[in-house]
Chain A
Amino acid sequence: MKSAERPNSVLKVSMANRRDLVHATLWGLGVATALLVAIFVGSNSLKHYDAALVPYTGACVFSAFGIGYRFAMWLRRPPTRKYWFRGWGIFFRPSKLARNVVRLAQVFFSDFFAQRFIEKRSPARWAAHWLIAWGCILAAAVTFPLSFGWVHFENAPGNQEIYRAFVFGQHVSTFHLGTITAALTFNILDISAVMVLMGVALALFRRARDRGAISVQQFAQDMMPLLMLFAISITGLFLTASTYLLHGLNYGFLSMLHAVTVIFTLLYLPFGKFFHVFQRPAQIGVQFYKEEGARTEQAVCLRCGAPFASRMHIEDLKDVENSLGIHYQLPGGGHYQDVCPVCRRKSLAVAQDEKWREQGTRAAASQPAGGIWPNHQ
């Protein structure tokens, strides 16, 4: 009865109860507030905060709210919640913690730093993604602390050639203007912009030629983010060009243009493709979940008797299915979730074939020379 009337998931989401909304809103507000506090404290009570950057900061705070809200909402989904808590539970088990930290470092390196799993999908895709990802990370690592006033530079007293860097108001290093460190520090945004532009070019090139990508890509999902990154990078480079090559020509206009692209992207961050930046690290938790599963008891298939997944995974999935209103209990006993995928496929074909056989047997009874379907005996 229940199953026949179960509303579809789209409806379920739209009816997501008020508590989820309130919960997620509170998380969003919390994250936004935390960011505001961090800005206030980190900039030494706004002493190192540049008031001209207020629009950026506003966008960041909104973005923080959005990310907090979306992440919390995401975690309200039963399968996500299950994985989240299970994953952390496994990670923090005291007996394994040390080993898990080492493993985390390994996974972090291969999946996050090198992103090798993407390389196996397509080297072109990997190159594009790596350039974009690391270009953005570099840029973010510089601009956010700078604009929040967490990092600032001062001339050494009495020497215009020597710079001193401060983080959270604390002096951390000193460098001479002619050094490579200085060149890198002041041009890092240009470097990251070039990386991103190269990545975007590669990605667009691939997307324009790969017939598979062409058929499934959507403008809003796949092209829009690339265009945003392109806009940010190119307007940023315009600023550099204006400063060094054109004696500040149109600098004001260009910096406004750049600000618009950045702010727009910050506002978009929690809702579009970029949100995967925050979701994706969950992959690392899955890794721990799988390794734990492989070490523990296996679930065996009801039909073929072969192990096909960890018992923990199957039981967790049954829980998730229960909370989603998916009812796989079989009337004659047994649970469909205990049937392995191979045997599901086989059972389906047997069920379909059997319908024809029943029909054939009936037809055979009324016709002397056999029915429309086999009747060997």
Chain B
Amino acid sequence: MNGAETMEFFIDHSRCIGCKACVQACEECDTHRGVSLIHLETIMRPDSVQTAPQVCMHCEDPICAQVCPADAIKKTPDGVVQSSLKPRCIGCSNCVLACPFGVPKYKAEINQMMKCDMCYDRTSVGKRPMCATVCPSGALTFTTRENIERTRQGMAIRDWQFGGETVRTKVNVLVPRNVQKITVTIEQIEATSTNEYDVANLLLGD
């Protein structure tokens, strides 16, 4: 990591408008042409239009690789966690179930796990990943840290807490400046409904 010149991936879920340009562009990527690997979740449509993209976060110590019985998930020297090695992956789905970010996809028809590899065909030759190039909202951005700090109110962090498990990722998430890490709590997990965006409530006024 040599500071200014290094391009990094930044996610700001709250910018997402759910247009799925990323989903459509993902399958144009040469390492998995025809298969879209990014996730785009509609959080709870009856209540809200909130959506969220999820690319692979490229953990420093990937849990997917740790739980892989076939030793099929490898990280490149530049820290990109690759799709499963085709000769090794036995399609067991351990990684799919254990990844704290819910990233790997099990493809039953080829009996193999595939996941976002940060468009390795592009990023390894200095191009930006498909999704972060096309994203019209800036929810997904591939740029320098310096550029993000200059143009965004938030701060780019890469530490996550899932219960007792701390995870550090290569991909950054944008949060307000006072936040050091994102902790996923049982309260958030159980928050499956909201009236915050109920137009009927808004019409009642103060």
Contacts and interface: CB of A to CB of B under 8 A. Distances in A.
A282 B90 contact: yes
B94 A351 contact: no
Interface string A268-282: 000001001001101
Contact of B110 (A6, A117, A214, A352): A117
B2 interface: no
Interface stretch (A49-57, A90-98, A148-156, A302-310): A302-310
A345 B97 contact: no
Interface stretch (B26-34, B128-136, B142-150): B26-34
Given A327-B165, A341-B99, A350-B188, A83 B69 contact: yes
A370 to B, nearest CB: 13
A317 B98 contact: yes
Contacts of A309: 93, 97
Interface stretch (A136-144, A246-254, A330-338): A330-338
B205 to A, nearest CB: 9
A350 B111 contact: no
User: Which bracket fits the contact residues of B?
Assistant: 35 or more
Contacts of A9: 61, 65-66
Nearest to B182: A351
B17 interface: no
B49 interface: no
Interface of B: 11-14, 16, 29-33, 39, 41, 43-44, 50-52, 54, 60-61, 63, 65-71, 82-83, 86-88, 90-94, 96-103, 109-112, 117, 120-122, 124-125, 153-154, 162-166, 173-176, 178-179, 182-192, 196-197, 202, 206
Given A313-B93, A320-B94, A337-B98, 18 more contacts: A74-B71, A212-B29, A280-B87, A280-B90, A283-B111, A303-B192, A314-B97, A328-B162, A331-B186, A333-B186, A341-B96, A344-B184, A347-B189, A348-B184, A349-B50, A350-B43, A359-B176, A372-B153
29 contacts: A8-B61, A74-B71, A79-B69, A83-B69, A117-B111, A121-B110, A216-B82, A216-B117, A216-B121, A280-B90, A286-B92, A290-B92, A317-B94, A330-B189, A333-B186, A341-B103, A342-B41, A343-B102, A345-B102, A346-B41, A348-B13, A349-B50, A349-B54, A351-B188, A352-B12, A352-B173, A352-B174, A353-B13, A355-B175
